[in-house]
């Protein structure tokens, strides 16, 4: 199994919206990817919550059956369609994939 974890820190303002609106939009877009390809075992997008510690604004925690399943997700047109918006609103991005 491959775990794929991505975190985004967002700009204060981008694409005509503030950080909170863009975070909500990102979450909705990610939620739409939860069943894009076979082999997705877990898929959870979360926005930082007031009152809880967070250094990033949006996180994706996902699990894939194997590297082939992760690659299929990464290359799927539905996933590729997110990249222009995500690139426009992010200040920083961190990612880690690991096999268990």
Based on the structure, what is the number of domains in the chain?
1
The domain containing residue 34 runs over which residues? 2-99
CATH of the domain at 63: 3.30.70.100
Quick one: which H or E segment has residue 73? helix 67-75
Q: How far apart are CA 5 and CA 66, in angstroms?
A: 14
By CB neighbour count within 10 A (0-12 exposed, 13-18 middle, 19+ buried), where does 64 fall? buried
Q: How far apart are CA 31 and CA 53, in angstroms?
A: 23
Each residue of 6-16: pLDDT tens digit?
999 999 999 99
Each residue of 34-67: pLDDT tens digit?
999 999 999 999 999 999 999 999 999 999 999 9
């Amino acid at each position: 199994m491959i775990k794929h974890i991505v975190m985004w820190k967002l700009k204060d303002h981008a694409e005509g919206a503030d950080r909170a609106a863009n975070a909500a939009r990102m979450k909705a877009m990610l939620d739409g990817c939860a069943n894009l390809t076979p082999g997705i075992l877990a898929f959870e997008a979360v926005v930082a919550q007031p009152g809880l510690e967070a250094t990033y604004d949006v996180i994706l925690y996902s699990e894939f059956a194997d590297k082939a399943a992760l690659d299929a997700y990464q290359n799927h047109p539905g996933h590729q369609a997110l990249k222009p918006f995500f690139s426009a609103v992010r200040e920083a991005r961190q990612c880690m994939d690991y096999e268990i």
